[in-house]
Amino acid sequence: MRNKAIIAAILALSPFLAGEAAGQIVFGQPGSVALNFNYSDWSLDPGSGAKEDLSQTAVGLSGFMPIRDNLEVRYQLFSGFNDLSAGGAETDLSGIGDLRLQLAHSFSKDRLLLSAGLNLPTGKRELDPDDERPVIEFLSRDYLSIPLRRYGEGFGFNLQAGAASELGPINVGVSAVYDFCGAYKPYEGVGDYDPGDALSLNATAAAAAGRIRYACDIGYSFFGTDALDGDDIYRQSPQFSARLTVSLPGDRYGATLGARAVLRDRNKRYSLIDGAIESQLKKYGDEYDVFLRLSRALGAGWTIGGLIGTRQILESEEELGRSSLLNAALDLGKDLSKNLGLDLGVMYHTGSTDDGDTDVSGLQISGGLKVSY
């Protein structure tokens, strides 16, 4: 690593390759290609209504290519198949998602970072509103953890800038991310839907005290107004997020305790007749997460980890009641060779939504192979 301070700036960013962000601009990091598999099965039982079950099989391809020192590019592409059973009706949706590219370049001894990304509309759009829309509506429920929630969107790009520094023992970073979201046709027979653009401001700090490492970040996001055929229809509220992690790394044992909060304001809905504001209500409630992860090196290159956590989403001002979920996971990883790594994982979710009226359960099985070159 050329400079630890740049990592603080990287972690403050919110790129669309968020899962890969922590390793950016690391001196000498080899190129890699990763193939990931995820199977998810979710069940909603309202007790007094029709039970809903959804299964999703998703495959993702991602890669990292160092172009030269301080310059790199990453890409990511997902595809997936969904099968939904609700009230005796069976529907399905399959296809690939959009291709995402991210180019990053660091400057000034790795204390400044500029990045630009593209969302190329390769995914499935103009979905059947009768057979495929119910699947998308199920995937959009905020209390579910599903790797592939949407397929094709419009052309988009993002611009990011970050700066990092060392204030004594503390690494700090600030960043700004602008996302442009182009128009597209989400469903057959529907006009051009233009999502509002987004601007996110972020700050992060990391420090160590003995063997214990502390990291925190905060972010504030603003969203533009969604439009349909040029008419304003909806504006998502600003959102504040904060996260704190305390970790104790070790050669054989490791532990991480983390907490996250997401605070949301009221959204705006507009009339298609005269453009006036029809309502200003909080669509999604505030959210709080806490987790504990323990890991152990088993020898022969194997590492095992376990996680337990809870996710609480408060009641909204529209239709969504309180959601409460408990999560437990087990993961296993091994370096099969110098250039080949294997990851396996399973996670179980249980809890309720609609203020306890609907039981929620979910099972996720994942696996991944990563090849370095």
Q: Which of 37, 34, 11, 36 is nearest to 24 (CA)?
A: 11
pLDDT of residue 320: 84
12: confidence class by pLDDT, cuts 50, 70, 90: very low
Report how far residue 10's alpha carbon sits from residue 17's, in angstroms, rounded to the nearest whole number: 11
The answer to whether the beta carbons of residues 314 and 353 sit under 8 Å apart is no
Q: How many CB atoms lie within 10 A of CB 97?
A: 23
The answer to whether the beta carbons of residues 191 and 164 sit under 8 Å apart is no
Report how far residue 144's alpha carbon sits from residue 148's, in angstroms, rounded to the nearest whole number: 11
Better-predicted residue by pLDDT, 68 or 305:
305
Report how far residue 133's alpha carbon sits from residue 147's, in angstroms, rounded to the nearest whole number: 18
pLDDT digits (tens, 9 = 90+) for 22-45: 344 555 678 999 999 999 999 999
pTM, two decimals, is 0.88
User: 109 pLDDT exceeds 50?
Assistant: yes
User: 339 pLDDT exceeds 60?
Assistant: yes
pLDDT of residue 234: 96
User: 62 pLDDT exceeds 80?
Assistant: yes
Tokens, residue 105: 């370049």
Average pLDDT (318-341) is: 94
**CA angle, residues 224, 324, 54, in degrees to nearest 5:** 75
Structural domains of the chain, with CATH: 4-372 (2.40.160)
pLDDT of residue 23: 41
DSSP state of 291: E
Average pLDDT (285-302) is: 94
Report how far residue 292's alpha carbon sits from residue 17's, in angstroms, rounded to the nearest whole number: 24
pLDDT of residue 4: 45
pLDDT digits (tens, 9 = 90+) for 116-143: 999 999 999 999 998 999 999 999 999 9
User: 182 pLDDT exceeds 70?
Assistant: yes
pLDDT digits (tens, 9 = 90+) for 187-238: 999 899 999 999 999 999 999 999 999 999 999 999 999 999 999 999 999 9
Q: Are strands 212-223 and 239-248 parallel, antiparallel or unpaired?
A: antiparallel
The answer to whether the beta carbons of residues 328 and 308 sit under 8 Å apart is yes
pLDDT of residue 6: 46
pLDDT of residue 301: 86
The answer to whether the beta carbons of residues 236 and 257 sit under 8 Å apart is no
Cβ contacts of 105 within 8 Å, gap of 6 or more: 70, 71, 72, 113, 114, 115
The one-letter amino acid at 111:
R
Report how far residue 209's alpha carbon sits from residue 357's, in angstroms, rounded to the nearest whole number: 45
Q: Are strands 340-353 and 358-372 parallel, antiparallel or unpaired?
A: antiparallel
Length of the chain: 373
User: 167 pLDDT exceeds 50?
Assistant: yes
